[in-house]
Amino acid sequence: MEIKYTVQGLLIYITIAAYLLALLMSIFRLKKLGQLLYIFGFVAAVVSFGYRWYHVRHVPMQNLFEVFLCLGMIYPVSLFCRRVLRVGGQSADMLIGIVVLFPVGFIFNANPQKLPPALQSWLFVPHVAVYVLSYIFMAKAVFHAVLQLIGKTPGPQGNLLPPEEATYRMICVGFPLLTIGLVLGSVWGKLAWGDYWGWDPKELWSLASWLVYVGYLHFRYMYGKKHAQINSIWAITGLVVIVVTLLWVNLSRFFPGLHNYGAG
């Protein structure tokens, strides 16, 4: 764990601090101030991402540092979920922002890297971007799944969905993104490595996470809200497998494979 004494580091810490203060304001019912701080944190996250982009001269989605930096720009997803999908959990989104930016600020290596030939593809950005977006929705699904398990429901204000339905809705939005990410990765694998499926550990974990949600959607279709707790556990399992896909494969020595350059 190390502190980054750089402009990049400063921007990351400002974002974390803004999200943390926004979360505290939300907890203490100072909603408007919390909202302002949340927006300020988002602006700092965008500036941080832009600064990194300028610094490395390519879209910064190459390694864990850059992907998590991108995950930190969570505010538009919060807004979209609340306004369009009637799914709340803005405080949880601030917490997600803090959780994903913490390793960016204190753990991951920020050394800029040139893109290796395999990553110089038009599929690089869409493949990573849709996965990043799907992970945010799946993380939000888990928050509502936990609310369902502990029996919390949103207040009458805001016309928000109850946790079980919110979980389902988040997965309904995230699952197509997960599917597109998997398919784009496969097409890219064919272009770069000659095979659309290389049985690489990261590919197999991605398939496993996709299958968990396939299972969830079939189970939800079969039994609806009859077994709401099982639905929630299924959603949580999905995120656990995603975390393994995202982190463990890159960091662990157990799964050497074609995607190891992402460890950064």
Residues in touch with another protein (CB under 8 A): 114-118, 120-121, 165, 168-169, 172-173, 175-176, 179-180, 183, 186-188, 190-201, 204-205, 207-208, 211-212, 215, 220-226, 249, 254-258
CA angle (149, 155, 157) in 5-degree steps:
145
Least distance in angstroms from the C-beta of 197 to another protein: 7
Report how far residue 160's alpha carbon sits from residue 64's, in angstroms, rounded to the nearest whole number.
Answer: 33
Cβ closest to another protein, residue 22 vs residue 85: 85
Least distance in angstroms from the C-beta of 102 to another protein: 27
Least distance in angstroms from the C-beta of 224 to another protein: 3
Cβ closest to another protein, residue 39 vs residue 264: 264
Report how far residue 139's alpha carbon sits from residue 63's, in angstroms, rounded to the nearest whole number.
Answer: 20
Report how far residue 252's alpha carbon sits from residue 164's, in angstroms, rounded to the nearest whole number.
Answer: 34
Least distance in angstroms from the C-beta of 239 to another protein: 15
Report how far residue 213's alpha carbon sits from residue 223's, in angstroms, rounded to the nearest whole number.
Answer: 15
Cβ closest to another protein, residue 116 vs residue 155: 116
| The total number of residues written for the chain in this structure | 264
Cβ closest to another protein, residue 106 vs residue 255: 255
Report how far residue 240's alpha carbon sits from residue 225's, in angstroms, rounded to the nearest whole number.
Answer: 22
Least distance in angstroms from the C-beta of 142 to another protein: 18
Least distance in angstroms from the C-beta of 209 to another protein: 9
Cβ closest to another protein, residue 35 vs residue 113: 113
Cβ closest to another protein, residue 33 vs residue 192: 192
Least distance in angstroms from the C-beta of 62 to another protein: 13
In the chain, alpha helices (H): 7-27, 31-56, 64-71, 75-83, 90-106, 124-150, 163-193, 201-223, 228-243, 249-251
Report how far residue 212's alpha carbon sits from residue 214's, in angstroms, rounded to the nearest whole number.
Answer: 5
Question: In the chain, what's the furthest Cα-to-Cα distance?
Answer: 55
Cβ closest to another protein, residue 1 vs residue 84: 84
Is 178 in contact with 131 (CB distance < 8 Å)? yes
The one-character DSSP state at 118 is G
